[in-house]
DNA sequence: CGGCGCCTTGAACCAAGTCAAGCTCTGTGG
DNA sequence: CCACAGAGCTTGACTTGGTTCAAGGCGCCG
């Protein structure tokens, strides 16, 4: 199940000097990256593994999570195409990341990014901005976790809807994934969605498809 | 109540070139900072205010928090002497920070730090490392918020104990502060502490003083 | 068309919240 | 030095939102 980045695949990563800076963190160095694919359910990296690589999601969806000592899984983030993940300041990954579908990623050595950052202050600035955005996300997530079930689900739907145009939202994750992201059980997520449908705030044409009918009602719950 | 950084106080902040880099983020530039004091309960900065200054806590204790639309307060972090706070990548503060006691801080213009970072890659690297540490803290905090009350309180005590030597922990914050940090009510915090005392895991010689008697028992709860 | 994941629904239960006293410091003024 | 007031903390009784446990439905793929 675990995809390996072994000496063989490492040979695919050339270490040439970075081209001139661009505005995206990966922009200036992504030509150095290798492309990799992971099957649905495969682990891209695991907690406590050396954080030697940074990933940019090209296609598919991924989730990062930690496991509590009682076995519960807390999902920290979902990643969509264009998202960067796996970047850590410490030597090891603090969470695991899995492919939720077949996934293709661009892989770059962390050391390449760090050394580019010492040479190019634009890269350094992007590095900081990226981590800062993650920090905001993590704090918003923490705010979510003290709300009621209705507020959590409403916030989640609105958050997903931001990535879409129109009111139709495709859910690339299962009810269990949603529950583990929101700190609820699948039953509560399911009941809450049904309740929103009963209140005509949303429609559920299928279990993986949500149409927002009354954004205002959801927003009122979005503490 | 609100302490102001007005044109007058700004004049106190010279903008000379940074001295050679050191290992601390503030190290290389803190000579540029102005010292300020805040009375207990005073707001150091508020949510949505321009994030033009960065603070280093010299003495006292501070808390950063957000208010939910139902009026509940979620504390994100407590700051102790030596801690840096108020550093944001975005233009505005995403949370408010208040003095929990009389406080003295060193204040530096964010722009001074950012421009130092473009000149000196060590500063840039410290900037990133600092934000990355905050990110870890925020994610750990999110993990806390899905645990049981006992686990949250135990984790909190152990977390505070890390800053102390020995088993005696001084609590610089009220039960309400603890509750708002842990996403619980004061009653639950109080009951849980009493329960730990009944189980001989801690002693409570006074309400603001905790002695850890059985760290192992607490650690077993520390998911 | 049958089997298996995934999702929904119902009923009972429980951890934490709410509401309401009462207690314990601490500081203040007589 | 003591009486008192007020804030902060604890404790008890009751309520409740969300979990747990259990059953059943739906849809998808071989």
pLDDT one-digit tens code per residue, B24-64: 666 666 667 899 999 999 999 999 999 999 999 999 999 99
Structural domain contains residue A173: yes
Does residue B68 share a domain with residue B19? yes
Q: Residue B21: which CATH number?
A: 2.60.120.10
Separation of alpha carbons B22 and B12, rounded Å: 23
More confident residue, B80 or B13: B80
pLDDT of residue B33: 83
Looking at B121, B140, B157, the residue that finishes a domain is B121
Q: Find the residue in B nearest to A68 (Cα).
A: B223
Question: Does residue A14 surpass a pLDDT of 60?
Answer: no
- Beta partners for residue A38, in sequence order: A103
pLDDT of residue B28: 61
Question: Which stretches of chain B sit within 8 Å of chain A by CB?
Answer: 66, 68-70, 72, 74, 76, 88-90, 94-95, 114, 117-119, 121, 124-125, 127-129, 131-136, 138-139, 141-143, 145-147, 183, 223
Does residue A97 share a domain with residue A33? yes
pLDDT one-digit tens code per residue, B77-94: 999 999 999 999 999 999
Structural domain contains residue A2: no
Rounded average pLDDT over B143-153: 98
Report how far apart the first and last C-alpha atoms of chain B are (Å, whole number).
Answer: 40
Separation of alpha carbons A28 and A216, rounded Å: 41
pLDDT of residue A13: 40
Q: Residue B176: which CATH number?
A: 1.10.10.10
Structural domain contains residue A141: no
Structural domain contains residue B30: yes
Cβ proximity of B182 and B144 under 8 Å = yes
Does residue A179 share a domain with residue A114? no
Q: Which of B131, B138, B143 sits opposite A74 (nearest CB)?
A: B143
- Per DSSP, the residues of B152-181 read HHHHHHHHHHTTSSSSEEE--S-HHHHHHH
Looking at A83, A103, A121, the residue that finishes a domain is A121
Does residue A179 share a domain with residue A93? no
With CB atoms and an 8 Å threshold, state whether A146 touches B145: yes
Structural domain contains residue B144: no
Helix-helix angle A149-162:A186-198, to 10 degrees:
80
Q: In what order do the strands lie in the sheet with B43-45?
A: B43-45, B96-99, B62-67, B73-79
Question: Does residue A156 surpass a pLDDT of 60?
Answer: yes
Residues in chain B: 223
Structural domain contains residue B156: yes
pLDDT one-digit tens code per residue, A20-38: 444 566 666 666 789 999 9
Does residue A113 share a domain with residue A153? no
Q: How far is A133 from chain B (nearest CA, A)?
A: 8
More confident residue, A52 or A222: A52
Report how far apart the first and last C-alpha atoms of chain A are (Å, whole number).
Answer: 40
Q: How far is the CA of A62 from the C1' of C19 (A)?
A: 45
Does residue B83 share a domain with residue B29? yes
Range of the domain at B210: 149-222
Exposure string of A122-161, with b = 16+ CB inside 10 Å and e = fewer, is bbbbbbbebbbebbebbbebbbbbbbebbbbbbbbbbbbb
Tokens of B214: 């059985």
Does residue A160 share a domain with residue A79? no
Does residue A97 share a domain with residue A52? yes
Question: Does residue B9 surpass a pLDDT of 50?
Answer: no
Structural domain contains residue A79: yes
Structural domain contains residue A140: no
| Contacts B148 to A, Cβ<8 Å | none
pLDDT of residue A200: 96
Does residue A53 share a domain with residue A89? yes
Does residue B99 share a domain with residue B205? no
Of A78, A58, A43, which Cα lies nearest the Cα of A169? A78
Does residue A172 share a domain with residue A69? no
Separation of alpha carbons A158 and A179, rounded Å: 16
Looking at A72, A106, A121, the residue that finishes a domain is A121
Total of domains in chain B: 2
| Mean predicted lDDT score pLDDT of chain B | 89
Of B39, B98, B91, B100, which Cα lies nearest the Cα of B66? B98
Does residue A105 share a domain with residue A41? yes
């Amino acid at each position: 199940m675990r995809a390996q980045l072994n000496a063989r695949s490492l040979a695919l990563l050339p270490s040439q000097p970075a081209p001139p800076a661009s505005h995206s963190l990966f922009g200036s160095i992504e030509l150095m990256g290798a492309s990799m694919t992971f099957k649905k359910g495969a682990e891209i990296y695991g907690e406590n593994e050396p954080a030697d690589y940074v990933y940019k999601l090209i296609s598919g969806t991924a989730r990062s999570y930690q496991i509590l000592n009682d076995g519960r899984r807390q999902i920290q983030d979902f990643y969509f195409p264009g998202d960067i993940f796996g970047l850590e300041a410490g030597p090891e990954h603090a969470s695991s990341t899995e492919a939720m579908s077949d996934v293709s990623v661009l892989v770059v050595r962390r050391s390449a990014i760090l050394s580019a950052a010492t040479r190019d202050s634009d890269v350094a600035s992007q590095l900081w901005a990226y981590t800062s955005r993650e920090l905001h996300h993590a704090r918003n997530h923490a705010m979510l976790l003290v709300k009621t079930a209705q507020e959590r689900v409403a916030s989640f739907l609105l958050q997903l809807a931001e990535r879409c145009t129109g009111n139709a939202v495709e859910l690339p994750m299962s009810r269990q994934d949603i529950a583990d992201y929101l700190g609820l059980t699948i039953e509560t997520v399911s009941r809450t969605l049904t309740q929103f449908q009963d209140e005509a705030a949303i429609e559920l044409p299928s279990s993986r498809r949500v149409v927002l009918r009354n954004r205002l009602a959801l927003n009122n719950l979005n503490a």
